[in-house]
Amino acid sequence: MSARVAVLVFPGTNSEAETVRICRDVGLDAESVHWSKGASLPKYDAYVLPGGFAYEDRIRAGAIAAHDPMMDYVIEAAGEGKLVLGICNGAQILLEAGLVPGTGAVRKPTAAFTHNAPSGKFICKHVHIKLVAETSRCAITAALPSGTIIPAWSAHGEGRLAATPEHLNEITSGGHLAFVYAHSDGTVDDAAIPNGSALGCAGLTNKRGNILAIMPHAERDAWNFNHPDLADRENILAPSGGAILFRAFAKALS
């Protein structure tokens, strides 16, 4: 039996459809769960918080959604060891809820994804992210080889990791840095970072390694039709590219 995955829908979420689809394409029993149906969340095996603009990103991106009653269930489930994946706005919510990097109390964030630098404007750009965490560090990425490169789309106004020097040191020393921005060949430098993110951060995990927060949208680069230059045109609907992350997610749940 496939693992049951809830894709949470807050007021303002807008990426749930493609997130549900790629989860299903890699073999998961995924469905979207509306914020009015949060009481059903305990029956699911794992949770995905997709992209969008939950509660219009008022105050800060993800700040209000982090206090939505649905997150009470996610926080409890994460404490029990269930897997949680947050993408873009979902990643912002996880940081605002204090689940990632998880170096402080719940709903007492020690870091945030905030306004892009230097422009402060919304960015829509194709990017690559590189797995820098040890393969055993995060359950969701455990099936990926060290240094795996994943194509994705950055589509955010607040994607820059920001924290105090003390908390940035906690992130690095605690092994919380999961993904960094990179070039397609795996080279890592400042030019690969689209938003000024501290540490070149594109993704973080918690101490236990059952939660992953990534800013770029791997699900928007997840099928052959997202790759017009691909030779395999006969299987245009087949998962590819960013689907590698979701295959690893599915393997972790198996």
Number of independent structural domains in the chain: 1
Residue 219 falls in the annotated catalytic set: yes
Residue 128 falls in the annotated catalytic set: no
Half-sphere exposure of 201 (CA within 13 A, CB side): 32
Given the residues 115, 128, 176, 217, the one annotated as active site: 217
Residue 170 falls in the annotated catalytic set: no
CA 170, CA 175: separation in Å to the nearest integer?
8
pLDDT tens per residue across span 205-251: 999 999 999 999 999 999 888 887 766 667 888 888 999 999 999 99
Confidence at residue 110, expressed as pLDDT on a 0 to 100 scale? 96
What's the domain range around 73?
A: 4-253
pLDDT tens per residue across span 121-144: 999 999 999 999 998 899 999 999
Confidence at residue 233, expressed as pLDDT on a 0 to 100 scale? 64
pLDDT tens per residue across span 55-93: 999 999 999 999 999 999 999 999 999 999 999 999 999
pLDDT tens per residue across span 168-203: 999 999 999 999 999 999 999 999 999 999 999 999
Residues in the chain: 254
Q: Which residues make beta-bridge pairs with 154?
A: 125
The yes-or-no verdict on residue 106 having pLDDT over 90 is yes
Angle at 8 between CA 218 and CA 104, to 5 degrees: 85
Sign of CA dihedral 76, 210, 35, 12: positive
Write the CATH number for 27: 3.40.50.880
Percent of the chain with pLDDT over 70: 98
The yes-or-no verdict on residue 52 having pLDDT over 90 is yes
Q: Using DSSP, state whether 104 is helix, strand or coil.
A: coil
Confidence at residue 229, expressed as pLDDT on a 0 to 100 scale? 75
Given the residues 23, 88, 138, 201, the one annotated as active site: 88
CA 7, CA 116: separation in Å to the nearest integer?
26
Within a 10 A sphere around the Cβ of 126, how many other Cβ atoms?
15
Given the residues 16, 158, 170, 219, the one annotated as active site: 219
- Residue 109: asked if its preceding bond is cis (omega within 30°), the reply is no
